[in-house]
Every structure is written in C-alpha cells, then in structure tokens.
Amino acid sequence: MNILAVVGSYRKGKTIDTLIDKAIEGAKEGGGDHVHVEKLYLIDKNIEYCKNCMVCRRDDPDKPIAKCIIADDMQTIYPMIEKADGFIFGTPVNMGAATAIMKTFLERTCWVLAKPGKRPIRGCPTPRTTRKKMAIIIVSSGIISPVFRRWCDDATPLIKSFCACHLNAKVLGSLYAGGVERKGMDIYLDEAYKLGKKLVSCVQ
C-alpha cells in the first residue's frame, strides 16, 4: 500500500512536519511491512504557478494524468499522486487558509488529475481515477485555538474538496493543532498517530 505524505509547511522539523511524522509512525505500525510511505516536502520542489493554459482540462478525459505543459517538478509528482492509495496532507493555517505552496500545488494538480464532470454541476471537477482512495488532513495554527476552528480554518475544507473532486479520496479524519505558539504541539501527537493508524486500516 502506497501512502503519500504532502508537507505544506515552510519549516522542516516543526509542527506540521512533526505531526506528519507521527501519523506516518501510526500508519507504519498499523499496516506493517506492506506500507510504503513517500514524504513530499513541497518546499524542496520547484513548483511553478499554474498558467491557466487549460491544456490539462482539454486533454483526453480517459487519461489518468492529463498533459501539463510546465516542465518542473510536478511532472514527477503527478505519477506519485496517481500511484498513491492513501494521502496525508499537512499545512499550517496561514491567514486563515492553506499556505501558498500548498495552494500552488493544489492548483497545479486541479485539472491534471480531474476532468470536467457532468453532474451535479456541468463542468465541475470529477476525479480521473476510479480507484477509491483515502486521506487524512493535519493543519496547525499559531494562535487560534480549536474552539474557533470553524471560523478560522479554510485550509481543511479546501483540501477536503480537493480529495473528493480530484483524487477520489475519502477523508477519514482531520486534526486541527490549534494555538501551538502557546500550547506547543505535544498534546496533538497522539491524535496524529491515531489518524495515521486509521488511514492504513481503511486503505484497501
């Protein structure tokens, strides 16, 4: 089983990176030897902005990966996403939303892994893959505590909808590590571990 962990933080070894590691630990302990995890640090990659050329959206809908004309690291990342059975997405909540690198990554994946669907809204993205996948989401915030999450976290709903419309992935759970500047992240480690374990228990 292939798990792809996408790190949308600007900092290695800090909150998101550590919580993702904990989820990976849970996944490996839950799934044993047949769990293969790839950790993708977006910050290390050359990922250009989408150019809105629409070559991907017009490409053959039967292709699992549509053509993207931008020659950068996304060309090697697309097959990694396509190959994965499960995903761990992690991003700090900056200005109430996913980080710019996470958003850039999502935009670049948008019509490459999805095609215009017919229902319920004509043209709405539908995943190119028919393989059912699973995902978990981990977000963190510096100041906002978990009780205010619903008003201050646009990152989780964005990634959730990306999972449904672009990856054919069901989101099994999400962790909001809120107020880490005051509380630290240690109180969230156990929840991250459990989410990782849950992920592999649900992936076929």
Binding site for ligand FMN (CB under 6 A): 9-11, 14-17, 92-96, 140-144, 180
Residues in the chain: 204
Q: How far is the CB of 166 from ligand FMN (least distance, A)?
A: 24
Q: Which residue's entry shows tokens 């995903």? A: 87
Q: What distance in Å separates the CA atoms of residue 70 and residue 98, rounded to the nearest whole number? A: 23
Residue closer to ligand FMN (CB basis): 10 or 41? 10
Q: How far is the CB of 111 from ligand FMN (least distance, A)?
A: 28
Structure tokens at 186: 């240690």
Q: How far is the CB of 149 from ligand FMN (least distance, A)?
A: 10
Q: How far is the CB of 143 from ligand FMN (least distance, A)?
A: 4
Residue closer to ligand FMN (CB basis): 3 or 144? 144
Residue closer to ligand FMN (CB basis): 140 or 168? 140
Q: What distance in Å separates the CA atoms of residue 49 and residue 6, rounded to the nearest whole number? A: 18
Dihedral through CA 44, CA 187, CA 154, CA 39, nearest 10? 30
Residue closer to ligand FMN (CB basis): 134 or 138? 138
List the Cα angle 167/6/29 in 5-degree steps. 95
Q: Are strands 86-92 and 36-41 parallel, antiparallel or unpaired?
A: unpaired
